[in-house]
């Protein structure tokens, strides 16, 4: 009988597991939040992921439960584990992707390089942190942030007064003077094997990932090795199973510092669909099923991924797809079947090749068909 994987969450990450699942002969089931979501091709159930009964019923018909996001509450995750369900990543690992304060404390314990940070619960302690760090700091809500929502650069504690008023501690971080952002992905299976993808460069605009270049250009071999070691150490230290993405800063003095973690396929790894021997979506399925892992090596010298965001006009994307395809037969255009609201990720373009300038130009130019 086919192995069955249940994915909680019906977004594009679940959707992009569908093709490799078909190839691997894995039966994919998706618990979507509502009808008509990105992964609705495979959505076999629609329901509330915060409800233990709903997820338990969903889990009954699969061999392993995994995720398209990190929002399933800990008590629901533990209810699954207590019922004997295989959950990957498990709750003990996932807590560090759910709560940035818990992550910072754990990474300190593991001796991982990170920005200075503090847990702050009132304006006085935040102001003290700001004063100690050159008059500015980055303040983050520990939970629920995405695409830069829940992140603010402040120069006075009063600028975070609304968040502090919500109760609960906030994460204050040193404003890192970085030259660029990198991401390191690794896959780990429950029985322990780990593989590391090449470290990539990520470019964010307005707090949202815009482009990814794989591998990271001009990265000294030693820096790439350190990034891979950090990724593997975190996967092992936290007991992560499945795909792990470690977002990193490269500082002006060429150190790497950990920004945050995602324990699932990640936007920084979309290039692997067309640029690596094993895509992150196939790898995630293999890892959570505890199957032998695939080769993470690149299959081309360079891969560039450019995100397609919904624009202000946001008319139908169909005509634009045809135009982009006609102009760029070499580009791989991936679409998520989502309504194109402004700023929303609705697809991406991957281009691979030998010359980075050509590859970058082609990927941007194909994606530009979707700009208003």
Ligand X SMILES: Nc1ncnc2c1ncn2[C@@H]1O[C@H](COP(=O)(O)OP(=O)(O)OP(=O)(O)O)[C@@H](O)[C@H]1O
Q: Which does 175 bind (CB under 5 to 8 A by kind): Mg ion, ligand X, none?
A: ligand X
Ligand-binding site membership of 123 (annotated): no
Q: Which of 92, 147, 159, 358 binds ligand X (CB under 6 A)?
A: 147
Q: Is 260 annotated as a binding residue?
A: yes
The span of 154-162, 171-179, 299-307, 309-317 binding ligand X (CB under 6 A) equals: 171-179
Which CB atom, from 181 or from 274, has the smaller least distance to Mg ion?
181
The DSSP element (H or E) to which 368 belongs, if any, is: none
Q: How far is CA 245 from its chain centroid?
A: 6
The single residue among 68, 70, 99, 181 that binds ligand X, judged by CB under 6 A, is 181
335 is a contact residue toward ligand X (CB under 6 A): no
Q: For residue 345, what are the contacts with CB-CB under 8 A and spacing of at least 6?
A: 12, 208, 267, 307, 308, 309, 336, 338
Strands 64-67 and 4-8: parallel
**Which of residues 259, 272, 278, 280 is near ligand X by CB under 6 A?**
259
Distances 9 to 12, 34, 49, 69, 234 between C-alpha atoms, Å: 9, 9, 8, 6, 24
Q: Does 99 bind ligand X (CB under 6 A)?
A: no
Cβ neighbours of residue 99 under 8 Å, at least 6 residues apart? 142, 143
Q: Is residue 247 involved in binding ligand X (CB under 6 A)?
A: yes
* Position 176 contacts ligand X (CB under 6 A): yes
Token pair for 64: 């392993």
Using CB under 5 A, count the residues that bind Mg ion.
2
DSSP alpha helix (H) spans, the chain: 12-15, 18-24, 52-59, 74-82, 91-98, 100-109, 123-132, 161-165, 221-238, 272-275, 280-288, 318-327, 356-367
Indicate whether 134 belongs to the interface with ligand X (CB under 6 A).
no
Q: Are 248 and 183 in contact (CB under 8 A)?
A: yes
Restricting to residues 231-250, which ones interact with Mg ion according to CB under 5 A? 247
The reply to whether 27 sits near ligand X by the rule CB under 6 A is no
3-state secondary structure of 66: strand
Size of the site for ligand X (CB under 6 A): 20
Q: Does 149 belong to an annotated binding site?
A: no
Span interacting with ligand X, options 20-28, 139-147, 230-238, 354-362, rule CB under 6 A: 139-147
Is 171 strand, coil or helix? strand
- Contact of residue 342 among Mg ion, ligand X, none (CB under 5-8 Å per partner type): none
Site of interaction with Mg ion (CB under 5 A) = 247, 260
Binding site for ligand X (CB under 6 A): 115, 138, 140, 145-151, 173-176, 181, 204, 207, 247, 259-260
């Amino acid at each position: 009988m086919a192995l069955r994987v249940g994915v909680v969450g019906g977004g594009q990450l679940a959707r992009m597991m569908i093709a490799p699942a078909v190839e691997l002969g894995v039966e994919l089931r998706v618990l979507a939040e509502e009808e008509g979501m990105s992964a609705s091709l495979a959505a076999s159930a629609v329901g509330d992921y915060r409800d233990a009964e709903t997820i338990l019923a969903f889990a009954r018909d699969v061999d392993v439960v995994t995720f398209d996001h990190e929002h399933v509450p800990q008590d629901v995750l533990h209810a699954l584990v207590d019922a004997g369900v295989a959950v990957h990543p498990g709750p003990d690992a996932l807590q560090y992707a759910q709560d940035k304060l818990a992550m910072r404390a754990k990474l300190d314990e593991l001796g991982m390089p990170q920005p200075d940070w503090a847990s702050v619960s009132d304006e006085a302690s935040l102001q003290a942190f700001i004063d100690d760090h050159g008059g500015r700091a980055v303040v983050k809500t520990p939970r629920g942030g995405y695409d830069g929502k829940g992140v603010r650069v402040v120069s006075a504690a009063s600028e975070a007064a609304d968040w502090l008023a919500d109760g609960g501690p906030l994460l204050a971080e040193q404003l890192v003077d970085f030259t660029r952002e990198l991401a390191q992905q690794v896959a780990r299976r429950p029985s322990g094997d780990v593989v590391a993808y090449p470290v990539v460069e990520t470019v964010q605009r307005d707090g949202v990932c815009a482009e990814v270049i794989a591998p990271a250009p001009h990265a000294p071999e030693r820096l790439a090795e350190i990034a891979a070691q950090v990724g593997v150490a975190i996967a092992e230290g936290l007991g992560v199973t499945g795909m792990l993405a470690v977002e990193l800063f490269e500082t002006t003095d060429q150190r790497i510092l950990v920004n945050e973690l995602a324990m699932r396929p990640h936007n920084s790894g979309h290039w692997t669909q067309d640029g690596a021997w094993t895509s992150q979506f196939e790898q995630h399925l293999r890892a959570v099923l505890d199957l032998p892992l695939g080769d993470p090596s690149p299959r081309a010298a360079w891969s560039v991924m450019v995100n397609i965001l919904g624009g202000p006009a946001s008319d139908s994307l169909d005509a634009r797809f045809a135009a982009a395809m006609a102009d760029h037969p070499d580009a791989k255009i991936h679409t998520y079947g989502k309504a194109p609201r402004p700023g929303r990720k609705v697809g991406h373009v991957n281009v691979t090749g030998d010359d980075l300038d050509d590859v970058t130009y082609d990927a941007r130019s194909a994606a530009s068909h979707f700009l208003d």
